[in-house]
A and B are shown apart, each in its own frame.
Chain A
Amino acid sequence: MRSLTLCWLLALYAAASAGQPVTVVDFAGRTVTLSQPAQRIVALAPHIVENLYSAGAGDRLVGVVSHSDFPETARALPVVGSFNAFSLEQIVASQPDLILMWGSGNGAGALEKLERLGVPVYVSELRSLEDIAASIRRLGQLAGTQAVSEAEAQRVETGFADLAGAYTSAEPLSVFYQIWHRPLQTVNGDHMISQIITLCGGSNIFADAATLAPRVNLESVLARNPRVIVAGGMATAHPEWLQHWEAYPGLRALEGGLVSVNPDLIQRPTARALEGAQELCGKLAWVRAQP
């Protein structure tokens, strides 16, 4: 009965908000104004597609880029190109009333090109874990689906806050996160994965590296001797990478500190990062519990 009332309220709310002008500030600090909530949306990055579904507006999508593979229904949407090579003609042909672009990913000059189409453009650029909930909220405002987006944003915020409460002051663990094994590649402190490691009470041993995803030297891993080595990857988990470390008997991580996670959950700044963070925090807690 309660849910029925909620549904009715939602329907009323949606009806009331339709036709109302919407003003949202995007991640580039630009003010985006729509005469009414967006009905036909083109999204130019897989993580934006995912966040739009989280905001309850996935059904408004009329164009996405390749690799938009989550949730499953996104795979069936019309594709306007790839994130760094999209077709302006295809975008025009899909008659959008809002374009969501990826600030740092769509290439130089993308904003100017898209603005020339005469359709409002919203720039998404997520830098931190807090930005995930903020992004879901703003997308909900743009599509007029605040009822869904607000609940989801709060779920994500509470989830991260719970993890922070449980682990941030736990016994600190030094962590080496492998995004590739040959060549050896990791993330520096600016990367979202490194923020998740910090959230879980770990410290990234290469937080000081110069680039976002640096190739690092094997001997410096041995020298910094992390307590935990996490095998990540790109799309699928790679637990087999952990075996290679057994050749170096001096490593502390060999004593119950080798873990692997599903990298698909934490490589995009979306609500799934919460699940990924819960997995990683759980694994680190497991390492802490080792004698």
Chain B
Amino acid sequence: MITNVIDRRRRAQRLLLLLAVTLPLAMLLALGTGAVHIAPSDTLAVLLGGDRGQATLIVQQIRLPRVLLAGIIGATLAMSGAAMQGLFRNPLADPSLIGVTAGASLGASVLIVAGGSSLSGLAGLSLVSLGAFAGGVLAVLLVYRLASSENGTSVATMLLAGIAITALAGAAGSLLEFFTDNERLRQISLWKMGGLDGANLPRLLLASVVAGAVLLALPQYALPLNTLLLGESEARHLGIPVNRTKLALIAWVAVGVGTSVALVGTIAFVGLVVPHIVRLLIGPDHRTLLPASALAGAILLVCADALSRIVLAPTELPVGIITALIGVPFFISLLRQRHQYGMQT
């Protein structure tokens, strides 16, 4: 048993190292690929500050913000997913479960229908993105309120409330779509498809500040999350301020995922499956699970985005299709190797 733990820890450190080396390589590769062929030597020269005419423009202004944004968003989604699965002790938990995604979609739809898309908002974000962020955070607050009583917050109630609010927001969104005109309908559907092609410097800056804070904050809760795996009352007896931890985790996840949805729309799957894959590989210790999930999520989204740019070039595929196509077969093969995984959490 002891050797098992040590073995696991060593494996976790090896995986972290491997991921930390792979991420910059994946980013370099993504910077070098695209609809336009740019030689690797030119890409490197541009990154080191050289001037290669159009290549400079493409690499610095188009690819670089996009690849960095993909990395940051992928990391935030995956780490948030890992934290949610730990908090809810439920393998199906992902950030959309507490209503963020559906709330954000509804917020964006409301603003598009109200004509907000013609107005510009703050810091490179459209008013629609701000609406999405507000919608996401409001939905989470509502879910949290519904699940809270004087006896604390019930995780089971919160899951159910999340499902209810998600369904309600989805229905309200569909109703809006039904009554709106063609142009706005198109805007809503394009917004929902999401995508990283809107990446620019102001958005990247915003993402780095907000998501950076989330990425630094969540690992602080690694030990309470580990203790919570024993069960809530056990954690309380061991001195963990359970309700405060829950509130903090949910707030950070809401901010992180809300920002990501506001910036790039909904990208399903990264937050659900990446933490599972990492947990299958190195076990449920959140001290390594959280950072490893973040790195793996970043790698997955950077690679998926690069593929979405080149598979059908010059046409772009929605990135969510690629994340699922890459991740699911890998996940299923891991599941087949470890049948009992679904039982433990």
Interface residues of A (CB under 8 A from B): 67, 82, 180, 182-185, 206, 209-211, 214-224, 233-236, 247-248, 250
Contacts and interface: CB of A to CB of B under 8 A. Distances in A.
A210 B54 contact: no
Contacts of B57: 222, 248, 250
Interface string B185-217: 010001001010110000000000000000000
A223 B35 CA distance: 9
Contact of A233 (B35, B183, B314, B316): B183
16 contacts: A182-B197, A183-B197, A210-B312, A214-B315, A215-B195, A217-B35, A217-B313, A219-B36, A219-B63, A220-B313, A221-B314, A223-B36, A233-B183, A235-B181, A235-B182, A247-B61
A183 B316 contact: yes
Nearest to A205: B314
Given A234-B183, A235-B181, A250-B53, A218 B315 contact: no
B309 interface: yes
Contact of B34 (A209, A215, A217, A248): A217
B62 interface: yes
Given A183-B195, A183-B197, A219 B35 contact: yes
B54 A217 contact: no
Given A221-B314, A222-B36, 9 more contacts: A180-B186, A214-B314, A214-B316, A216-B315, A219-B36, A220-B35, A220-B314, A223-B36, A247-B61
Contacts of B190: 180, 183, 185
Contact of B181 (A67, A214, A222): A67
Given A222-B54, A222-B57, A222-B58, A217 B316 contact: yes
A215 B53 contact: no
Contacts of A236: 183
Interface in B55-114: 57-58, 61-63
A192 B56 CA distance: 36
B315 A210 contact: yes
Interface of B: 34-36, 53-54, 57-58, 61-63, 178, 181-183, 186, 190, 193, 195, 197-198, 309, 312-316
A13 B129 CA distance: 61
Contacts of B312: 210, 214
A234 B186 CA distance: 8
A209 B315 CA distance: 6
B177 to A, nearest CB: 11
Give the most central of B54, B183, B309, B315: most A CB within 10 Å.
B315
Sorted nearest first, the 4 A-B pairs with minimum C-beta distance are A220-B314, A220-B35, A234-B183, A214-B315
A248 B62 CA distance: 11
Contacts of A183: 190, 193, 195, 197-198, 316
Contacts of A217: 34-35, 197, 309, 313-316
B182 A67 contact: yes
A183 B198 CA distance: 7
B214 to A, nearest CB: 25
Contacts of B36: 219-220, 222-223
A48 to B, nearest CB: 16
B69 to A, nearest CB: 14
Given A183-B190, A235-B182, A250-B53, A218 B313 contact: no
Give the most central of A185, A215, A247, A250: most B CB within 10 Å.
A215
A217 B190 CA distance: 15
Contacts of B54: 222-223, 250
A235 B53 contact: no
Nearest to A82: B178
B195 to A, nearest CB: 6
Nearest to A238: B118
Contact of A182 (B61, B183, B198): B198
